[in-house]
């Protein structure tokens, strides 16, 4: 369980890595692991993304009651004691619950922030299937284990280019037009 927690956090954290970092991934949103681990990790990550997606409507509903005032300012303190704050707290409560559940599974604050801030809006309209597993031909060096990539779908997706069907000019269409034009001139 701890291994999947760490792998999921690593996969999510690759989305927000700094280019100057020492362990910077080559491609964001992708990790390499063994095939069985990738197959077990996939439902774990997809459940986390589903949780984050379920929190989106609650966060949007709470925005109408929120304030733009800086924290601990006089305006913020007035809002905090008003009825608007009560409505905001009531509207945001389910989203907070989803964040806490995600944190209990991941145990990584940065990964939870990335999950709710970046991945949930990215997959908002997608009904499922947020990750893909691609098997790699190379075997792992130490034990010759079969390797696979697990990555988020949506970016860098290869789209098959479909060739347009060839337009075949039919001689039957051209002949009646010419034959109709010929008697009119005669």
Q: Is the pLDDT of residue 22 over 90?
A: no
List the single range of 34-43, 64-73, 107-116 with lowest mean pLDDT.
64-73
pLDDT of residue 1: 94
Which pLDDT value is given to residue 38? 97
Q: Region 174-181: what's the mean pLDDT?
A: 52
Exposed e or buried b per residue across 20-29, where buried means at least 16 C-beta atoms within 10 angstroms of its C-beta: eeeeebeeeb
For the chain, how far is it from start to end, CA to CA, in angstroms? 90
Q: Pick the residue with more confidence: 183 or 29?
A: 29
Q: Which residues on adjacent β-strands are paired with residue 132? A: 151
Rounded (5°) CA angle 83-96-11: 150
Given a cut of 60, whether residue 119 has pLDDT beyond it is yes
Copy the structure tokens of residue 19: 């280019």
Q: How do beta strands 30-34 and 146-152 pair? A: antiparallel
Least confident of 69-83, 84-98, 108-122, 164-178: 164-178
- In this structure, of 42-46, 48-52, 151-155, 156-160, the range with the lowest mean pLDDT score is 156-160
Confidence (pTM): 0.80
Give the whole-angstrom CA distance, residue 78 versus residue 20: 43
Average model confidence (pLDDT) for the chain? 89
Q: Determine contact, residues 91/58, Cβ cutoff 8 Å.
A: yes
DSSP 69-129: SPTTSHHHHHHHTSHHHHHHHHHHHHHHHHHHHHHHHH--HHHHHHIIIIIHHHTTT--S-
């Amino acid at each position: 369980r701890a291994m999947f927690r760490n792998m999921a956090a690593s996969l999510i954290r690759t989305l927000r890595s700094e280019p100057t970092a020492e362990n910077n991934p080559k491609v964001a949103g992708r990790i390499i692991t063994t095939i069985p681990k990738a197959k077990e990790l996939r439902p774990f990550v997809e459940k986390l993304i589903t949780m984050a997606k379920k929190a989106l409507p609650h966060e949007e509903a709470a925005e109408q009651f929120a304030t733009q005032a800086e924290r601990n300012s006089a305006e913020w303190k007035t809002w905090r004691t008003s009825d608007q704050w009560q409505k905001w707290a009531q509207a945001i409560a389910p989203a907070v619950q989803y964040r806490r559940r995600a944190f209990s599974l991941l145990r990584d604050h940065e990964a939870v922030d990335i999950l709710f801030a970046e991945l949930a809006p990215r997959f908002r309209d997608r009904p499922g299937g947020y990750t893909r597993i691609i098997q790699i031909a190379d075997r792992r060096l130490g034990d010759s284990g079969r390797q696979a990539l697990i990555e988020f779908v949506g970016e860098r997706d290869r789209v098959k280019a479909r060739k347009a069907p060839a337009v075949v000019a039919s001689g039957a269409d051209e002949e009646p037009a010419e034959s109709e034009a010929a008697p009119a001139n005669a």
